[in-house]
Copies of this chain bind each other. A is one copy, B any other.
């Protein structure tokens, strides 16, 4: 029997309890052993909960109970979550989490602490909700050198963009709709300003490239600036506007990582990822391109990934599988200013001015002054356009 404790009984934490209850019989059969939820740590009492008798408010009860072998951290943030994770690992307990902020900020150190104590720190649910991505990267694609990860990593912004594209809504109306449907928070900034996507591309990059990339060093642009005209321009170019997190290894060995809205050509599988779905494309040197698709958030999908990690540990998977990555090195990150892409540019005025400013640019048909450039960096683009009134500038993925 594996005895677990859940820290934080919000959306994901209660989802974990629900999945263990709903699929308990098949889970026990697959693990060859039942998994028992002994404690729920939460400051808010929930007397109506079917698990009311398991609530505790003092972490040290869990920490001192030798029966508890796995701690599920679904508190979120980097306050109590960090402290309890450290104490649980130090007490020789495995920790499973969905907390992307904590993993993005402190993953390397927590993995090292887990290794030191011979236990595991698993966080499949921290990226892509329930979509299997971290295990496939570490295990199924382990014969590859991964060169590139490109992801639609945030369901809220993808929903807003989809409604702008398909429904003709403005950003503000689409955001309001997302809030009404519960897809966006009342304070939507972690989503719409790209912070959530940034944390996730950092985690994927850490895994693939072996060094912790601090989220605050990853240039991040959200979707507040995307207008209906940009959406129309994308359509005229045979593209969809998508907020992408990208990380890739450059020829000189350095890594570029950034988050910003892109034009994704319709032939690309990421262009078909709509609504609250996420899609993560990975390129390896022997497998070529693969993509993982599914619900990137939500109570049960995220809990599905958390429980799978718990089952991995309960089945006694070898500790040698423990991931680790090294601390950040300032020399690893190549500035996004060096990344050359094809751009689609919309400006005020006449297209001829734009074409003249950008050698090789081709005019885009439509009621705009708009061109498609040759591959170039943003600083080169900005310099060339210093005399133009630019209204929108988007990188075109894989153009």
- Taking Cβ atoms with an 8 Å cutoff, the residues of A that contact B are 19, 22-23, 26-27, 30, 32, 124, 130-132, 135-136, 139-145, 267, 269, 271-274, 277, 284-295, 298, 300-301, 303-305, 307-308, 311-312, 315-318, 320-321
Whether B287 lies near A295 (C-beta < 8 A) is yes
Q: Please, which residues of chain B bring their CB within 8 A of the CB of A293?
A: 269, 290-293
A267 to B143, CA, bound (A): 34
A272 to B240, CA, bound (A): 14
Minimum Cβ distance to chain B for residue A288 (Å): 5
Whether B269 lies near A273 (C-beta < 8 A) is yes
A272 to B285, CA, bound (A): 24
Closest to A281 in B: B293
Minimum Cβ distance to chain B for residue A282 (Å): 9
Whether B308 lies near A140 (C-beta < 8 A) is yes
Whether B132 lies near A136 (C-beta < 8 A) is yes
The oligomer's copy count stands at 2
Q: Please, which residues of chain B bring their CB within 8 A of the CB of A277?
A: 269
Q: Please, which residues of chain B bring their CB within 8 A of the CB of A143?
A: 19, 23, 27, 303-305, 307-308, 311
Q: Please, which residues of chain B bring their CB within 8 A of the CB of A136?
A: 132, 135-136, 140
Q: Please, which residues of chain B bring their CB within 8 A of the CB of A27?
A: 142-143
**Can you offer 22 A-B residue contacts whose CB atoms are under 8 A?**
A19-B143, A124-B140, A130-B290, A131-B290, A132-B132, A135-B139, A135-B140, A139-B139, A143-B305, A143-B308, A269-B273, A272-B272, A284-B304, A287-B294, A288-B294, A288-B301, A289-B294, A290-B294, A291-B293, A292-B292, A292-B293, A317-B321
- Mostly, the A contact residues are mixed
The residue from B130, B272, B317 contacting A318, defined by CB atoms under 8 A apart: B317
With known contacts A286-B301, A287-B301, A292-B292, A320–B312 Cβ distance under 8 A: no
Whether A23 lies near B269 (C-beta < 8 A) is no
Q: Please, which residues of chain B bring their CB within 8 A of the CB of A144?
A: 23, 304
Name, among A142, A272, A311, the residue most crowded by chain B CB atoms within 10 Å (CB to CB): A142
Whether B286 lies near A300 (C-beta < 8 A) is yes
Given A139-B308, A292-B292, output 16 extra A-B contacts at Cβ < 8 Å. A19-B143, A27-B143, A124-B140, A132-B139, A135-B135, A141-B304, A269-B272, A286-B304, A287-B300, A287-B304, A287-B305, A288-B295, A288-B300, A290-B295, A291-B293, A318-B318
Whether A130 lies near B287 (C-beta < 8 A) is yes
Closest to A138 in B: B30
Name, among A144, A145, A284, the residue most crowded by chain B CB atoms within 10 Å (CB to CB): A144
A27 to B145, CA, bound (A): 9
A286 to B299, CA, bound (A): 9
Q: Please, which residues of chain B bring their CB within 8 A of the CB of A300?
A: 286-288
A130 to B290, CA, bound (A): 8
Q: Please, which residues of chain B bring their CB within 8 A of the CB of A315?
A: 318, 320-321
Minimum Cβ distance to chain B for residue A75 (Å): 21
Whether A288 lies near B130 (C-beta < 8 A) is yes
Q: Please, which residues of chain B bring their CB within 8 A of the CB of A294?
A: 287-291
Q: Please, which residues of chain B bring their CB within 8 A of the CB of A32?
A: 320
Q: Please, which residues of chain B bring their CB within 8 A of the CB of A317?
A: 317-318, 321
Minimum Cβ distance to chain B for residue A1 (Å): 15
A30 to B145, CA, bound (A): 11
Closest to A268 in B: B272
